[in-house]
Amino acid sequence: MATTTAPDRTRQQIDRLANSNPEWTVWLALWDTTLDAAADPVWSVAVDDATLAPSLATGAPRLTGATVPVKGRDAAAWVRRLVGVAAKRGAGAGGSGAAFGEAGDRLDPVALIEASINQDAARLDALASTAGIAPDALAALAQFAAAPLLHAFGRAIAPGVANDWDEGFCPVCGAWPAMTERRGLERARRLRCGRCGGDWGNAVVRCPFCAVAGHDRLGSLVPEADREARQVETCAACRGYLKSLTTLRAWAATEVALADLSTVELDLAAIERDYARPETPAVALGLRLTEPEADPAPGRAGVLRRR
Ligand SMILES: [Zn+2]
Ligand SMILES: [Zn+2]
């Protein structure tokens, strides 16, 4: 029997969603482009050469204070490609991509990726204003711009840190969870990061946003048609919510954002009842992207410098 790989599944899902929801075409085209770019070795080389803090305080995501060498040239090529897709698709569909056009040339690509990974909203606003792009449109684009590097970090780091992690935010990149899986026959509760694919569970079921536990504060909204399979976990203490789906197997990192997109009706149900996703990030990562030192030998690879 032929096995379906995670990239195949993700692409099939993109096609399915584009057919059933034409209004998502621009978003899906950007995600498709992002998955393609994520396979580019420039991102894994950057991750190999990154400097992570050797000993971190318990409870700090792994990327806190990281210094990551990314060539300005590579970042520029990637952001230009993304802006091109947004402008082309958006202009036709009347979506946010129409806001870009030549403004993309005035964007600082390295600053864009760095601010996006750090979830630095003030800096993203400043970049939007410098480039003459609507802040909302740039914020949306910034998530795609950071994704290939975040996914490379997720692949490299996530397997090592997730097991004993007991915080509400992602152990790799510090984002709040995008979704919960109730996975497998035992319905194991796993929090998932929509940015890097981070995958972790908490020892005690509690609100990831304010750490409150207990049945008197935690509840769930269940849309009638779906009963068990799709729910919204709610917290009466902070009014936060998290969408929760039963799954047979773990989502690939690339599938989390698609699951988030395709359950927008659950967001509407939660927002209608005055629940909201947190407005501020869980942590200040303070990650920096730097231009790598010029290499004397041609054809240098990250592995040559590793001990
Ligand atoms: Zn993450
Ligand atoms: Zn809460």
Residue boundaries of the structural domains of the chain = 7-161+284-292, 179-272
Considering every ligand atom, which ligand is closest to the CA of 171? 1
Q: How many CA atoms lie within 13 A of 141 on its CB side?
A: 32
pLDDT at 2: 55
Name the one residue in this structure whose structure tokens are 């870009």. Answer: 100
Residue 307 predicted with pLDDT over 50: no
Residue 245 near residue 182, CB atoms below 8 Å: yes
Q: What is the pLDDT of residue 103?
A: 73
Average the pLDDT over 25-52 and give the result.
93
> For residue 24, is pLDDT > 90?
yes
pLDDT more than 70, % of the chain: 88
CB atoms within 10 A of CB 206: 17
The number of residues making up the chain comes to 307
Quick one: average pLDDT of 79-105? 71
- C-alpha 99 – ligand 2 centre gap (Å): 36
The number of the ligand nearest the C-alpha atom of 218 reads 2
Terminus-to-terminus CA distance in the chain, angstroms?
41
Predicted confidence band at 36 (pLDDT cuts at 50, 70, 90)? very high
Per-residue confidence band for 299, with pLDDT thresholds at 50, 70 and 90: low
At 3, the pLDDT band (50, 70, 90 cuts) reads low
The Cα–Cα gap between 229 and 263 comes to 12
Please tell me which residue, 210 or 162, carries the higher pLDDT value.
210
Phi, psi of 230 (to 5 degrees): -125, 120
Strand 199-200: give its sheet, edge to edge: 199-200, 188-192, 179-183, 241-247, 230-235, 218-221
From ligand 2's centre to the CA of 172, what distance in Å? 21
Q: What is the pLDDT of residue 220?
A: 92
178 alpha carbon to ligand 1 midpoint, in Å? Answer: 9
Q: Please give, one letter per residue, the 3-state secondary structure of the chain.
A: CCCCCHHHHHHHHHHHHHHHCHHHHHHHHHHHHHHHHHCCHHHHHHHHCCECCCCCCCCCCCCCCCEEECCHHHHHHHHHHHHHHHHHHHHHHCCHHHHCHHHHHHCCHHHHHHHHHCCCHHHHHHHHHHHCCCHHHHHHHHHHHHHHHHHHHHHHHHHHHCCCCCCCCCCCCCCCCCEEEEECCCCEEEEECCCCCCEECCCCCECCCCCCECCCCEEEECCCCCCCCEEEEEECCCCEEEEEEEECCCCCHHHHHHHHHCCHHHHHHHHHCCCECCCCCCCCCCCEEECCCCCCCCCCCHHHHCC
- CA 244–ligand 2 middle distance (angstroms): 15
* Greater model confidence, 55 or 239: 239
What integer is the mean pLDDT of 295-302? 54
How many angstroms separate the alpha carbon of residue 255 from the centre of ligand 1?
A: 13
Question: Which class for 96: exposed (0-12), middle (13-18), buried (19 or more C-beta within 10 A)?
Answer: buried
pLDDT tens digits along 108-149: 999 999 999 999 999 999 999 999 989 999 999 999 999 999
| The predicted structure's pLDDT at residue 95 | 45
Looking at the CA of 276, which ligand is closest? 2
Average pLDDT, rounded, for the chain: 88
In the reported structure, the alpha carbon of residue 174 is separated from the centroid of ligand 1 by a whole-number distance in angstroms of 6
| Residue 93: pLDDT over 70 | no
CA of 172 to the centre of ligand 1 (A): 5
Cα 179 to middle of ligand 2, angstroms: 15
Backbone angles phi, psi at 101, to 5 degrees: 55, -135
Percent of the chain with pLDDT over 90: 73
pLDDT interval class at 101 (50, 70, 90): low
For 184, how many CA atoms within 13 A lie in the half-sphere containing its CB?
5
HSE of 45 in the Cβ direction (CA atoms, 13 Å)?
A: 15
pLDDT in tens, 225-269: 667 799 999 999 999 999 999 999 999 999 999 999 999 999 999
Angstrom distances, CA of residue 178 to CA of 190, 192, 256: 11, 6, 8
pTM: 0.90
Centroid of ligand 1 to alpha carbon of 176 (angstroms): 8
- Distance (angstroms) between ligand 2 centre and the Cα of 217 equals 8
The residues placing their C-beta within 5 Å of ligand 2, an ion, are 207, 209-210, 212, 235, 237-238, 240
pLDDT of residue 87: 85
Alpha-carbon span 144 to 233, nearest angstrom? 27
Residue type, 264: V
Query: What separation in Å is there between the alpha carbon of 155 and the centre of ligand 2?
Result: 29
Decide if pLDDT at 98 tops 60.
Answer: no
